[in-house]
Amino acid sequence: MSRKKKMSSTAQAPKARVVLPLGALAAGFGLASAALAQTAPAPAKDDNVLPTVRVRASAEPQGKDSVQATETRIGKGKQDIRDIPQSLTVITEKVIDDRNFGNVKEVLKNTAGITFQAAEGGEEDIKVHGISLQSTGDIFIDGMRDPAFYDRDTFFLDKIELLRGSASLLFGRGSTGGAVNQVTKQAQLANQNQIDVSVGSHGALRAIGDFDTRTGETSGLRVSVMTNTADSNGAGSRIDKRGIGVNYRLGVDETDEFGITLYGLQNDNGINYGVRWIRPTATSPYVNGVNTKLDPDNYYGLASDFNKGTAYYGMLTHTHRFDKNTELVTKVRAANYSRDQRATLWNFAAANLQPGGLAVTLDNLSPATVITRGFQPKKQDMQTVTAQSDLSTKFKAAGFEHTLQAGVDFAHEKKQVYLPITAALGGIVPVRPNTTVGTPWDGASIDESLRSYRTNNDYVSKAYGGYVQDMIQIAPMWKVLAGLRYDSLKGTYHSYNTASATVVYPLQDTPPTPATATTLALPGSPWHMNISEVSKRAAVLFQPNAQWSFHLMGATSFNTSGDAYSLSAANENIPPEKSVNVELGAKWDSADGKLSLRASAFRNTKLHERNTDPLITNLVTLSGKRHAAGLDFDIAGKITPEWEVFGNFTWMPVAKIDISSAGPGNGNTNEIQGSRPSLTPRYSGSLWTAYQVLPQLRLGAGLNARSGQTPNRNPVGIYAPKFVTADAMAEYTVVPEQLSFKLYVSNVANKIYADQLYTSFYVPGTGRVTTLTGTYKF
């Protein structure tokens, strides 16, 4: 496999209170009317004047300013992180830039408690504390679900927030293991521009332009652009992507503020399925962890393989500030995604095709070993329309101070999946030639334009949700939090079956839409899902002073059979899986506020897990149960004015499959009862530290570690060993605040390790990559 690259003023009183069209979406918030009545006195009163914010707005904290974050909106309203009673790690743009993270996957891989399951479809099933966090359902952009699978870039991100544990109260379905929120860059009332150009190993070139312009007294425009190419050792590691993000804000910090965000990303990358697990000898009872005889940089796919994808969205935002303590934020977003993957899933050929007629083992693996090239297509489109309105307010009632958050949201999602038309049905199926271990990157290719596709299935859903959460100051040092959320989801899934093996379908350059698919295939019976669920969250916070905050929190979550956008007779009537998360934690801030420490003890329990009934074919039941418990640690900020640190660590000594349809024996589709769940390492962690040695010179170093783990389904004997990788950085400033250069080396020792795991193969981690970045600010 080829190594994947890492690229590396004047105060004004508020205007007349007119709730404009976007804000009107939440006009029905009867639950907050009492609060608003108490916090909205007559406009003539001085205490209703919004604070002076014009100067602050031009220099408000951004992710590029520090490795430490003190505020978050992952709770749907702006909150101090100390008031979040749950494990939260915020990776700011400063950390992302320092460590040369070019995509969101790299950021998450270097965050404690997270592992990745590879899959034959190219998706990643992200695990948090050993519980799935679907990459197609639990990743968000500015608090709104970003459901499609694509290679998410970091060029337009201010920070990434990882909330561990149950998060259904805030985000609805899914969010069982947690939630990842991508916070996009926003226009500031300032003129600040930056260009970064990186060159690196494997012919890598990455350029980012970030242009922030103040266009008026209360308006600003921000435009970020990116291009990234690389071509190393074959198509499997090719990178060719480009993107643009635009944000315009009008009425910044006024009574009514409007924003528009436009985003476009195009990927035309390669794809590599990694390395097969292999037995040391023909009679060996176990499988070796990492194949050290195969160069992990080798690529055995075709030069014609590709992984194309697009992501486009537009979002409108309206913020109405009733007063300094109450605001209503409404967002509407329309998005369109596409994906077209033509990949090689390679394997060792059968024994009769091998030299000497022997099955391949590590002992007899040689340059003459024959490799087959299987075909793994993935072609799909997705369209979403999402709207949400969130109210946050502070008020006094019944002698207590309240911090109330409430919101409603709606999502309409549509997905279409296509399959190649087989030769038996008149399609052209190009032959994929074999190769050998000794001839990686042999240049073989086929004409992918000859293939034609038909609609295989489509999925349409509508989801509605509403929540309310109140944090009450019951005593000078004590707060209690309680929240409820209701979700309703209706989904319909069609499967299109071929009419007859003798039917010849016309070839076409583009796949049919669901509306025309019936001319090519007969639709099967639709499967329906109708779910209504309530999620709960409660917490107690003890805050003895401005530096310390302790919390005890419990929350529930659920995820449906339709989270993967597919249904069948086996699962359409299956209720959602349910989970409970309990956490005891503490957070400490230094006296100057520049350093934060966090620690928490957690227990996650999946109470009702979908399993395949071992006695009835194709029947799914909620018979499973698993749990995991451990400790999370975070550190972020400055130890001294010159010394910056960002790190997180997870220790998970307890993890167990409590109930499984596989029972205590070896199951084929379910994990073994009584065993440690797959993709659940006992420890994982990441540390980054940088020191300003001289006014012109800054040095940094980082570590990323993970203990051993098994791939999904816990296949007997297959185990990915523990690993530690190290990174190093040197940054030299030529002209202060204007021109600098940074040299970054990741995986300094070129460590070979298994990164993403699957039952039959693993994807090796990124090898040593050297990147030089020039930064110009003006």
pLDDT at 175: 64
Distance CA 514, CA 383 (A): 13
516 is written with which tokens? 């025309």
Q: Give the DSSP per-residue string, 387-411.
A: EEEEEEEEEEETTEEEEEEEEEEEE
Residue of 596, 732, 548 lying closest to 67 (CA atoms): 596
Indicate the range of 438-447, 516-525, 622-631, 646-655 predicted with least confidence.
Answer: 516-525
- The whole-number pLDDT of residue 732 equals 98
- The reported pLDDT for the residue numbered 60 is 56
Look at residue 674 and tell me whether its pLDDT is greater than 80. yes
The answer for residues whose C-beta is within 8 angstroms of residue 121's C-beta and 6 or more apart is: 341, 376, 378
Burial (Cβ within 10 Å: 0-12, 13-18, ≥19) of residue 549:
buried
Whole-angstrom Cα distance, residue 149 to residue 704?
25
Q: H or E element: which one contains 725?
A: strand 723-735
Q: What angle do CA 258, 262, 268 make, to 5 degrees?
A: 165
| Buried-state track 189-223, b at ≥16 Cβ within 10 A, e below 16 | beebebebebbbbbebbbbbbbbbbbeeebbbbbb
Question: Between 336 and 26, whose confidence is greater?
Answer: 336
Tell me what the mean pLDDT of segment 166-171 comes to: 90
What percent of the chain is modeled with pLDDT above 70? 84
Helix (H) or strand (E) holding 171: helix 168-171
The reported pTM is 0.88
| Under 8 Å between Cβ of 254 and 12 | yes
- In the block, tokens 């994929």 appear at 432
pLDDT at 510: 42
Q: Is pLDDT above 60 for 418?
A: yes
Positive or negative torsion for Cα 26, 29, 35, 36: positive
Residue-level pLDDT at 426: 87
Q: Which amino acid, residue 197?
A: V
Question: Per-residue pLDDT for 22 more than 60?
Answer: no
> DSSP letter at 60?
-
- pLDDT > 50? residue 3: no
More confident position, 513 or 215: 215
> Is the model's pLDDT at 613 over the cut of 80?
no
- What one-letter code names the amino acid at 103? N
In contact, 740 and 67? CB cutoff 8 Å: no
Task: Give me the residue spans of the domains in the chain.
Answer: 23-777
Confidence category of residue 523, pLDDT binned at 50, 70, 90: low
Res 76 pLDDT > 90: no
Distance of alpha carbon 651 from alpha carbon 632, whole angstroms: 7
Tell me what the mean pLDDT of segment 75-99 comes to. Answer: 93
CB 244 within 8 A of CB 212: no
Q: Are 523 and 494 in contact (CB under 8 A)?
A: yes
Q: Taking a C-beta distance cutoff of 8 angstroms, is the pair 711, 115 a contact?
A: no
Would you state the torsion angle of the CA atoms of residues 366, 372, 373, 374, taken in this order, to the nearest 10 degrees?
Answer: -140
Contact (Cβ atoms closer than 8 angstroms) between residue 251 and residue 50: no
Q: What residue type is 774 in one-letter code?
A: G
Mean pLDDT in residue range 330-344? 96
Residue 290, pLDDT above cutoff 70: yes
SS (H, E, C) 71-123: EECCCCCCEEHHHCCCCEEEEEHHHHHHCCCCEHHHHHHCCCCEEEECCCCCC
Give me the architecture of the 23-777 domain, per CATH: Beta Barrel (2.40)
E-strand stretches of 423-526: 435-436, 453-475, 478-497, 522-523
Among 313, 310, 311, 226, residue whose Cα is nearest residue 268: 310
How far is the C-alpha of 747 from the C-alpha of 767, rounded, in Å?
6
Instruction: Output the average pLDDT for the chain.
Output: 86
Task: Look at residue 46 and tell me whether its pLDDT is greater than 70.
Answer: no
Q: What is the pLDDT of residue 132?
A: 76
User: What is the rounded CA–CA span in Å between residue 111 and residue 649?
Assistant: 8
Check residue 509 and give its pLDDT: 39
pLDDT band for position 130 (50/70/90)? confident
User: Dihedral of CA 97/100/104/107: which sign?
Assistant: negative
Nearest to 516 by CA among 426, 455, 459, 452: 455
Smallest Cα–Cα separation from 427: which of 525, 485, 506, 339?
506
Write the CA distances from 611 to 77, 361, 619, 620, 705, integer angstroms. Answer: 37, 33, 8, 6, 32
**What tens digit of pLDDT does each residue of 203-213 get?**
999 999 999 99
pLDDT tier for residue 10 given thresholds of 50, 70 and 90: very low
| pLDDT over threshold 80, residue 244 | yes
The pair of structure tokens assigned to 135 is: 């990459």
Tokens standing for residue 436: 């050998």
Residues 6 or more apart from 291 whose CB is under 8 A from it? 275, 276, 277, 278, 362, 365
Is the confidence at residue 502, as pLDDT, over 70?
Answer: no
Q: Are 421 and 505 in contact (CB under 8 A)?
A: yes
Q: Of 763, 753, 629, whose CA–CA distance to 289 is shortest? A: 753
Q: What is the per-residue pLDDT for 522?
A: 53
Minimum mean pLDDT among 8-12, 311-315, 495-499: which range? 8-12
Residue 540's pLDDT is: 98
Separation between Cα atoms, residue 378 and residue 150, nearest integer Å: 12
Between the two ends of the chain, the Cα-to-Cα distance in Å is 41
Which has more pLDDT, 48 or 435?
435
Question: With 70 as the cut, is the pLDDT of residue 615 above it?
Answer: no
Question: Do residues 309 and 267 lie in contact, with contact meaning Cβ atoms separated by under 8 Å?
Answer: yes
CA 22 to chain centre: 28
d(CA 85, CA 528): 37
- The pLDDT value given to residue 52: 39
Tell me, what's the pLDDT at 217?
96
- Give 641 or 2, the one with higher predicted confidence: 641
Closest to 159 (Cα-Cα) out of 246, 91, 97, 209: 91
Q: Is the pLDDT of residue 769 over 50?
A: yes
Q: Rounded distance, CA 99 to CA 8, Å?
A: 8
pLDDT digits (tens, 9 = 90+) for 554-573: 999 998 888 888 888 888 88
Q: What is the pLDDT of residue 143?
A: 93
Among candidate residues 284, 445, 298, the one with its CA nearest the CA of residue 369: 298
Residue 369, token pair as written in the block = 């070993």
Tell how strand 577-589 and strand 595-612 pair up.
Answer: antiparallel
Distance CA 632, CA 706 (A): 14
| pLDDT tens, residue by residue, 354-392 | 999 999 999 999 999 999 999 999 999 999 999 999 999
> What integer pLDDT is reported at residue 16 of this predicted model?
38
**Residue 380 to residue 386: CA distance in whole angstroms:** 20
For residue 469, how far is the Cα from the chain centroid? 25
pLDDT of residue 233: 56
Taking the mean position of all CA atoms in its chain, how far away is CA 126? 8
C-beta separation of 632 from 602 below 8 A: yes
Place of tokens 């030529």: 734
Pairwise CA distance, residues 512 & 502, whole Å: 20
**Can you tell me the distance from the alpha carbon of 274 to that of 335, in angstroms, rounded to the nearest whole number?**
31
pLDDT tier at 121 (50, 70, 90 boundaries)? low
Is residue 272 within 8 A of residue 301, CB to CB? The reply is yes
Higher pLDDT, 137 or 104: 104
Which pLDDT does position 8 carry in this prediction? Answer: 39
Burial letters 482-497, b for 16+ CB under 10 A, else e: ebebebebebbbbbbe
